[in-house]
Structure 1
């Protein structure tokens, strides 16, 4: 069986990034660690691939971009912003998708490290891998930027919208329309969903009307099945809770699924039920009725992420900073 860089890392009890640094010689490694890795490489007779050997003495011109999915237009718009910034530069983009799976996320980033990328942009990083400090360990040696999540690490730059304020804008809008029984639709494993749920609970408790059964977690919130899955969950929710008059969905795909559920149940929008989505993807203007939503500057998120990563690369990964973008309510017909 062919020995891989992962096998070497396990045998040395170090990260894949550390093995890659020893092979490529592009970042400092402790002397004893380097000697240990080189010894294991010799013992296992590991042979780095041609690409890795070719890059030992030169910086890669590839930027790794890791996203949960390209099914949700939120992520494609962020990618467009990244590509727009790097279009006339020396850098090319290598895109990876994770399906919000924490193991796939680690695997994809390890692949990028093996490709000796100049830096990595992680869009909507997984909650579990953030908590385990996986990203922080990688970012010590590979320039890294988070999109759609604040980073407390001194090694990771970040650009994100004020998710808390965006959720408040959405819920306040529903409250201003005299809705009190407001349901909340979210997905799994996302910092942005967690922030929105926290705000939702606080605001519903403020009016003494928080009900746990009004929170629906429909699993993967950014897959190709999101609309159908949220429609199914919406039918269950609205059939068993006929007093619900407002819904705040964590993204537009979920909101559109709820709209489809209303059509199945003959619920009129916005006469019987008001819906506010989040993201302002292009599809939100194409559905009937047009979706009221929160715009969070997706293209600008991507461009700013690219700016931050380029700064880290040019400054030898020596400092990090965060950029917070504002949100705005897009009033339409729901």
Structure 2
């Protein structure tokens, strides 16, 4: 028969309130008493009723996270970092994926509300329309603390990277190696900032932007990235528009592009230089090793968690929306053709 809190109190010869205080980590219980209650809990294999604790405390100690997909290592790594850091604060993480479908994203956010999560981290890029922004506004009105990894609207605190500046650095790097015909493969899930960085670098270096060398991917709902990169690279080559280098908006797209060039009898970086973005684990192991941009995932996750927990645990404090921007780092490897 399952032990109850009454059984623990009786065995430890303390009140039910004392047992409750020990379970909830209250520091008002003497060390000797806390240790005695803990021993009894272990002896009786008592497991607190989470539903009952939630009703009493009106907290679930659960954070919801909405991501576009876990098939891209970047999102999985981000979620893993957030989960580890939440555990330090006594919270667990509930992850929902949306495949970047705004309708699924809305259902996911509504599900998190119904689950009575204490806060939400939005890391999906599906919320682009005015209707979707109103939905985020509704979550804020319901009083659910929110932190985002994309700037949906001004009332939402955002943690993200300086993607435009780092993308400019990527293109500047290729130009420094002598490339002037540089293609670009973007993605709906990468946002517009990387494309803007690509355009800005070309213009500042007085190189005309050739729209024939650009595949933005902004109309795609979701891409299986490696295959998407493979198909786009082949398309660029079949269009017979000259280019010697290509900037891909994430590493999986870049890896797909490299495979396409190899299948067409070209060598990277001799025939085509390739640069990615994100610095996933595979980037350094792939051959040729991928030049890419490293995002400080651990630091970004820590910032998001700290901000969200502060909103949750200090509800009476004014929490003004802010944007926390992290610098990225260009990691130069073999695929861009630079001397390492």
Asked if residue 246 in structure 1 is aligned to residue 245 in structure 2, the reply is: yes
TM-score, normalising length: structure 1: 0.78
Match of residue 226 from structure 2: 227
Q: Of the two, which has the highest radius of gyration?
A: 2
Unaligned runs of 5+ in 2: 1-50, 336-340
Match of residue 89 from structure 1: 89
Judge which range, 212-221 or 173-182, deviates more.
Answer: 212-221
Match of residue 12 from structure 1: none
Asked if residue 268 in structure 1 is aligned to residue 267 in structure 2, the reply is: yes
Q: Note the alpha carbon deviations across 1:281-319, whole angstroms, 9 max, x for none.
A: 001112110000001112322222111111111221731
- Contact kept in structure 2, 1:69 and 1:222, CA below 8 Å: no
- Contact kept in structure 2, 1:170 and 1:276, CA below 8 Å: yes
Where in structure 2 are the equivalents of 1:230-309 lying within 5 Å? 230-241=229-240, 243-309=242-308
- Contact kept in structure 2, 1:69 and 1:98, CA below 8 Å: yes
> Tell me, what secondary structure is at the counterpart of 2:334?
coil
Asked if residue 165 in structure 1 is aligned to residue 165 in structure 2, the reply is: yes
TM-score, normalising length: structure 2: 0.76
Aligned equivalents of 1:85 and 1:168: distance in 2? 32
The Cα shift of 1:221 comes to: 8.3
Match of residue 311 from structure 1: 310
Asked if residue 198 in structure 1 is aligned to residue 196 in structure 2, the reply is: yes
Aligned equivalents of 1:308 and 1:222: distance in 2? 29
Asked if residue 330 in structure 1 is aligned to residue 331 in structure 2, the reply is: yes
- Contact kept in structure 2, 1:66 and 1:109, CA below 8 Å: yes
Match of residue 213 from structure 1: 212
The Cα shift of 1:237 comes to: 0.7
1:143 to 139, 142, 145: 145
Aligned equivalents of 1:112 and 1:152: distance in 2? 20
Aligned equivalents of 1:262 and 1:311: distance in 2? 49
> Tell me, what secondary structure is at the counterpart of 1:158?
strand
Match of residue 126 from structure 1: 126
Aligned equivalents of 1:53 and 1:327: distance in 2? 42
Judge which range, 132-141 or 66-75, deviates more.
Answer: 132-141
- Please tell me the root mean square deviation across aligned C-alpha atoms, in Å: 2.4
CA distance 1:215–1:143, shift in 2 (3 Å): same
Q: Note the alpha carbon deviations across 1:249-285, whole angstroms, 9 max, x for none.
A: 1100111111011111111111111111000000111
> Tell me, what secondary structure is at the counterpart of 1:203?
helix
The Cα shift of 1:133 comes to: 3.1
> Tell me, what secondary structure is at the counterpart of 1:132?
helix
Paired positions, count: 280
Q: Note the alpha carbon deviations across 1:96-153, whole angstroms, 9 max, x for none.
A: 0000111111110000000010000011432425663321221231100001x23542
The Cα shift of 1:187 comes to: 1.3
Where in structure 2 are the equivalents of 1:26-41 lying within 5 Å? none
